Amino acid sequence: MDLQLTEEQELIIKMAREFAETEVGPKAAEVDKNHRFPEETVARMAELGLMGIPIPEEYGGSGSDYLTYVMVVEELARACATTGVILSVHMSVCTYPIFQLGSDDQKKKYVVPLAAGEKLGAFALTEPGAGSDAAAQQTTAVLDGGHYVLNGTKCFITNGAYADVFIVAAMTDKSKGTKGISTFIVEKGFPGFSVGQTEDKMGLKGSSTTEIILKECRVPVENLLGKEGDGFKVAMAALDGGRISIAAQAVGIAQASLDASVAYAKERKQFGKPIASFQAIQFMIAEMATKIEAARGLVHRAAWLKDHHLPVTQTSAMAKYYAAEVASWCSNRAVQIHGGAGYTTAYPAERLMRDAKVTEIYEGTTEIQKMVIAGSLLR
């Protein structure tokens, strides 16, 4: 595996890092405190060409690759985890699946504006009774002439109140279990589509997480993504890519935890010297740095496999599982290193700790990742 970056890749990542440090990071605490979706940041990402990094230029993207994209997600999440997940969901589980699996007409109609950042994407699979168990879907899609009529409620939908385009999973034949699930490209303006309640979350407070309500929602037949009954495959393929970018988000949170810990350890004095001189602090920082590098390596390998069209399910699950645990572990240690100050909002440690936890839950819990890894080894 050769991860030597090209000059173009390095320029994109450098631009993303500078943008994250100068424009995204300074707003992170305010976005969190006010539960504010950073619309102006999303608009700037579109201006900078960050909303369609791995999409070819002919479809409105930057023409780069998945590796560059996940490295950009890490840079954004390092500055603001909310911003990282907005891009992750927009690209990994909406724009990219349409690009990979959609018809030419679907690509022209949806991928072009999504990749250009003119529209924002989202993914609607989870329901109140169907989280890890996707086969328990209750949302239905019934063919009626030139439309499918969708009925049901989705929950925990990232970008929900601000997205323009959604990939929605629904049952076209309940008797077939997962083989009866189909996926549809749904626009927020379709009749019968509405946004329900917004969740008040523990972390990622600037990220819009809502219900999506489909009540006699009429979706044109040409908006079926893939074939009828292929929805579970479409969703799992989308999650393979989504898990890599969420793992990158987790690495960004972990790196921010390390950055904050190093800075504070050099600044804070006890017993007449900086706490950075104490071995207990040094050991925590050394472990954080090592775990982060290991997690980052898994993320980059998974992205490289995806770019080379090689099997990625096992590696993406490993990256998601390990990076999420590293994010939680590192953010916990960051609070500990900060001591009492880490338990206050005066420093970023407490926000990083809250933001890190969800990486162990969404895009498939840690337990689901272990099932995927074991299943790939034992089949």
What positions carry a catalytic annotation? 363
Question: How far out from the chain centre does Cα 162 lie?
Answer: 15
DSSP-assigned states of every residue in 12-61: HHHHHHHHIIIIIGGGHHHHHHTT---HHHHHHHHHTT-TTTTS-GGGTS
Helix (H, G, I), strand (E, B) or coil at 274: strand
H or E stretch at 195? strand 193-198
Whole-angstrom distance, CA of residue 379 vs CA of residue 377? 6
DSSP-assigned states of every residue in 56-105: -GGGTS----HHHHHHHHHHHHHH-HHHHHHHHHHIIIIIHHHHHHS-HH
Handedness of CA 346, 352, 355, 358 (dihedral sign): negative
Q: Do 364 and 239 contact (CB within 8 A), yes or no? A: yes
Whole-angstrom distance, CA of residue 167 vs CA of residue 89? 11
What the block records as the tokens of 179 is: 């083989």
Judging by beta carbons within 10 Å of its beta carbon (0-12, 13-18, 19+), is residue 201 exposed, middle or buried? middle
Question: Which residues are CB-neighbours of 349 under 8 A, at least 6 positions away?
Answer: 257, 260, 261, 264, 331, 334, 335, 337, 338, 341, 342
DSSP 8-state symbol, 247: H
Q: Do 87 and 246 contact (CB within 8 A), yes or no? A: no
